[in-house]
Structure 1
């Protein structure tokens, strides 16, 4: 066993170990479990304790992407400081965290929350290498099974009829599951809305006013990424993109909502020709 492995004083997890997403055995609070296809380690907390991961199996604690030259030999490290575990990236490619957060080489480390966290490193030929992490909570146990408990639904945001129609049109590319979707431009959305409901007086300004109102309302209720102050300049489509993602993730908008566009097209086909 290499020197770097002896330094951990941790426990080796074999390649056959089941996914950490299913939980971990009872352990001291703050214990970190790490796992890849090549196995992993479990290590108790302690100031300065470190778990190194990367491609070079003899020189890391956890081997990741062993046969993929896009993964750095020492891609990153998990370090225990100030009662938390922190993710450091020392590799050339970014590490993707939950929420699509990218951690780049030598950026400030990111703290890990208790429970399960998957990290991804993109390799060659569109491969994605997974590093599973689980940090035990204050009682050192995984959450208890709750097989029979009632499912908690997502919070669905209240939209009035005009707001809903405007956002369905604005976000139709998201509802269609297009790759890398973007919101429609204001003027395009307004033109489509005017075709759907000619009597409603849809204009670019009206669409923008309604959508900004929804953004402000959700931002005041705790949804992140909906204000210029949070995003910074240039804003581009980021505010509407974040709004539409929240509306889809909360199931406020769902793909069947696109039926209003199909019905409108059908109505247009059935109108008498002049």
Structure 2
């Protein structure tokens, strides 16, 4: 085994919810965790280090799509490269099919992109959709050992009832798992809100103002890429969607509020 690289077992929980230990301790900043179909790998950030993802098990670090002939044997290469005075991880597509990542254009063959600090899913659409989970540690993600009797953690972000209602409406197609679902436009969001029992007077500007308030509050709390200064305008809704869905702040069952309404939307 290469020093500073450790396999992750098939029972490793989703990286959305918890950061694994690294050599028995909390991971240093920049440590890479990757999960595929049957476990994965963790690697310290050392320039020149690389991990291969693909269906060519056991000759890749992280196996994905083992029975899907559309997934390439070596579909993705994750490399640690020098960046200024430090390092960063980049992903390069070595397969025939594109790799999709949140907030960016599809990664085509031979193209590469940097991996941000935090959680990033990589999507490969073969005969079925495959997901590779990637986490670049910020040095603060580990939450301690989890036992069978440990209470389920809660990552939900605080929202007022008014904010929650607007966000459920805007992301209703996403929560309803519609194909190629996208957030509603501001105009569509306002119209949908006016159909909710007990609601009236909504328009595109009011809906946008509520969501802008959420984005700026989350930014002040340390969540990145939610403002026009830190991300392209066309990516802001997608970035917010990722944060709200990945933390369980918005859930499919929340859609019920669009039919039932809520008693106090101003709180």
TM range (shorter): 0.5 to 0.7
| 1:144-179 Cα deviation digits (max 9, x unpaired) | 8431444431142232x4333333332322333333
| 1:82-112 Cα deviation digits (max 9, x unpaired) | 6877643333323456x68764433346469
Report matched runs for 1:183-222 at 5 Å.
183-196=183-196, 200-222=200-222
8 Å CA contact 1:41, 1:61 repeated in 2: no
Structure-2 residue corresponding to 1:3: none
**Counterparts of 1:241 and 1:195 in 2: how far apart (Å)?**
24
TM-score if structure 1 supplies the norm length?
0.57
- RMSD between aligned alpha carbons? 5.1
Aligned counterpart in structure 2 of residue 242 of structure 1, from 221, 239, 262? 239
8 Å CA contact 2:100, 2:122 repeated in 1: yes
**Counterparts of 2:39 and 2:79 in 1: how far apart (Å)?**
19
**Counterparts of 1:67 and 1:193 in 2: how far apart (Å)?**
45
8 Å CA contact 1:9, 1:43 repeated in 2: no
- 3-state SS, counterpart of residue 229 of structure 2: helix
Higher relative contact order (CA 8 A, sep 6+): 2
**Structure 1, gaps ≥5 residues long:** 1-7, 11-16, 265-274
Is residue 231 of structure 1 aligned with residue 238 of structure 2? Answer: no
| 1:203-259 Cα deviation digits (max 9, x unpaired) | 3322222222222222222233322333325x1xx4234334433433433344333
CA apart distance, 1:65: 5.7
CA apart distance, 1:184: 2.6
Aligned counterpart in structure 2 of residue 259 of structure 1, from 246, 256, 260? 256
Aligned counterpart in structure 2 of residue 105 of structure 1, from 101, 109, 121? 109
Report matched runs for 1:138-153 at 5 Å.
145-147=145-147, 148-153=149-154
Report matched runs for 1:35-50 at 5 Å.
48=48
- 3-state SS, counterpart of residue 88 of structure 1: strand
**Larger radius of gyration, structure 1 or 2?**
1
8 Å CA contact 1:20, 1:133 repeated in 2: no
Is residue 92 of structure 1 aligned with residue 89 of structure 2? Answer: no
TM-score if structure 2 supplies the norm length?
0.58
Say if 1:206 and 1:70 are closer, same or farther in 2 by CA, change over 3 A. Answer: same
Structure-1 residue corresponding to 2:264: none
- 3-state SS, counterpart of residue 169 of structure 1: helix
CA apart distance, 1:113: 8.0
Count of equivalent residues: 241
